[in-house]
Structure 1
Amino acid sequence: MSRGPHKPAGRVNPGRPVAPCAAEGGRCRPPGPPRAEHGMVTVEIAFGALAAALACIALAWVLAVLGLAVRCQDTAAEVARQEARTDRSAVARAIADRPAGATVSVRGDAEQVTVTVELIARPWASWLPALPVSARAVVLREPA
Structure 2
Amino acid sequence: MNEGLTHLDENGKAIMVDVGEKNATGRLAIARGEVRMKESTLKLIMSGEMAKGDVWAVARVAGIMAAKKTPDLIPLCHPLLLSSVSVDFTPHPGQGRVEIEARVRVTGQTGVEMEALMAVAVAGLAIYDMCKAVDKEMVVSEIRLMEKHGGKSGTFLRQE
Q: Which TM-score applies when normalising by structure 2? A: 0.29
More strand per residue: 1 or 2? 2
- Greater relative CO (CA pairs within 8 A, separation 6+): 2
Q: Who wins on radius of gyration, i.e. which is larger?
A: 1
More helix per residue: 1 or 2? 1
